[in-house]
Amino acid sequence: MHKADFAQSPSGRLVPTERGQWAFVPNPLPPMLDDATRASLGATLAEASAAVGELNGIGRLLPDPYLLIRPLQAQEALTSSSMEGTYTTLDDLLLVEAGAGDENRAPDTREVLNYRLALSEAIASLDRVPLCLRTLREAHRRLLGGVARHRGASVQAGEFKRSQNFIGAYEIERARFVPPPPSETLACLDDMERFIHAPTPTIHTLIDSALLHYQFETIHPFADGNGRVGRMLITLHMFHTGLIRHPILYLSPTLEGRKDEYIDRMYAVSQVGDWLGWIRFFLDAVTDAARQAIDTADRLRQVEKRYRAALQQAGRSANLLTIVDLLFRTPVVSIPQLAEHLGVTYRGAQMNVKSLVEAGVLHEHDGTSNPRLFVARDILKAISGDALNA
């Protein structure tokens, strides 16, 4: 990191760290935003707020919010992980989640599944404990728990960093950015936690989410996994504050397509204090993500209506409609799983699956046995945005 790039920064200070290098320590939140900056955000903030409001309205129309929550969480896990170089497919993620596949041969898929579980467990924890550093540590513990790859092998899952980390290179001397050293990290995090629990937003909760995400990523408190935990924090903060009624807004699918600008905007805050550029970028991402979620909700509702109409017109049993509801939570299922869910015999569940296969709702996944797995492909297409079959 070039010391001269940050020496005059209004957003933080430099401190010496290992091997004769310098690290950047951000100032506590919130920053001082002048009247001109606040005014220039008005139209962008209004657009983002309207998009979030529309998404909240969609959530209220769903008979079960999890018809949307689980698919969006799966997509978030895929894209947030891919931004950090961890890749898998939606099919593989759901297969491993259903208990199929060799996890030892698919460590990336295991890690992406960890992300989805960490996210859903962190959201559930907000019913018991307000959003805090403990929430983030537990999410990190789940995210990197059992990871045997080289990238996470030396990381203490759930623990803040114990040595200096850096970004953009394999050697600290070549790093683009060096976040606070461990000796400064806890104080930074304590300040951040106080900001989370401030009684009123700086300007608007959406702007506070932007400030908070920047702060977390700049502190970079873990040895690994900061990007993924930091993107979880966006949704957690919006849900914690009541900005979103259900956890149905996730930014990673939008940020993935603008990754370089995403990183550069946060870098510019640290370097020259360009809060306006970062907040405007963040609000644009919120608008895009909300609209994408609305489109996904529309596609899923179309699939649900089509499934229900096909089964009802054929005079099929109520059990089949119960299975359809389950498929939006778990698009990959087995006969034993359905037998337990319905409280019927294996033979009864088998006959229900046969009816759903004949109706085109389920398709057997090739290469699975003991148990065989069945996939609701139209739901997967709706999640990924692919055109549905006519």
Q: Which residue has the tokens 């859903």?
A: 120
Q: What is the pLDDT of residue 244?
A: 95
What gap in Å lies between CA 205 and CA 237, rounded to an integer?
Answer: 9
Q: What is the pLDDT of residue 389?
A: 39
Tokens of 324: 């359809």
Q: Which residues pair with 16 in a beta bridge?
A: 22
Q: What is the pLDDT of residues 231-269, one digit of tens each?
A: 999 999 999 999 999 999 999 999 999 999 999 999 999
Tell me how far the alpha carbon of residue 95 is from its chain's centroid: 19
Q: What is the pLDDT of residue 312?
A: 75
- Mapped onto helix, strand or coil, the DSSP state of residue 167 is strand
Domains and their CATH numbers in the chain:
3-294 (1.10.3290.10), 314-384 (1.10.10.10)
> Around 50, how many Cα atoms within 13 Å sit in the side-chain half-sphere?
7
Query: By the 8 A CB rule, do 64 and 100 touch?
Result: no
Q: φ, ψ for residue 177 (rounded to 5)?
A: -145, 140
Q: φ, ψ for residue 188 (rounded to 5)?
A: -60, -45
Query: By the 8 A CB rule, do 27 and 12 touch?
Result: yes
What gap in Å lies between CA 135 and CA 277, rounded to an integer?
Answer: 29
Q: Which residue has the tokens 């949704």?
A: 235
Q: φ, ψ for residue 146 (rounded to 5)?
A: 75, 5
Query: Residue type at 175?
Result: A
Q: φ, ψ for residue 22 (rounded to 5)?
A: -120, 145
Q: What is the pLDDT of residue 104?
A: 52
DSSP string, 27-65: PPSPP---HHHHHHTHHHHHHHHHHHHHHHHHHHHSSST
Q: What is the pLDDT of residues 86-103, one digit of tens each?
A: 888 888 888 888 776 555
DSSP string, 253-308: HHHHTTHHHHHHHHHHHHHH--HHHHHHHHHHHHHHHHHHHHHHHHHHHHHHHHHH
- Mapped onto helix, strand or coil, the DSSP state of residue 150 is coil
Q: What is the pLDDT of residue 313?
A: 66
Buried/exposed code over 304-332 (b: 16+ C-beta within 10 A; e: otherwise): beebeebbeeeebeebbeebbbebbebbb
What gap in Å lies between CA 125 and CA 145, rounded to an integer?
Answer: 18
Q: What is the pLDDT of residue 118?
A: 95
- Alpha helix positions (H), the chain: 3-6, 35-40, 42-61, 66-82, 90-97, 107-125, 133-144, 182-196, 205-219, 226-240, 252-256, 259-272, 275-313, 318-329, 335-342, 346-358, 377-384
Provide block-wise average pLDDT over 10 residues at a time, the chain (390 residues): 93 96 97 92 97 91 77 90 88 79 68 92 95 97 77 73 94 96 98 94 94 98 95 97 94 94 97 97 98 91 86 75 87 91 92 90 83 90 64
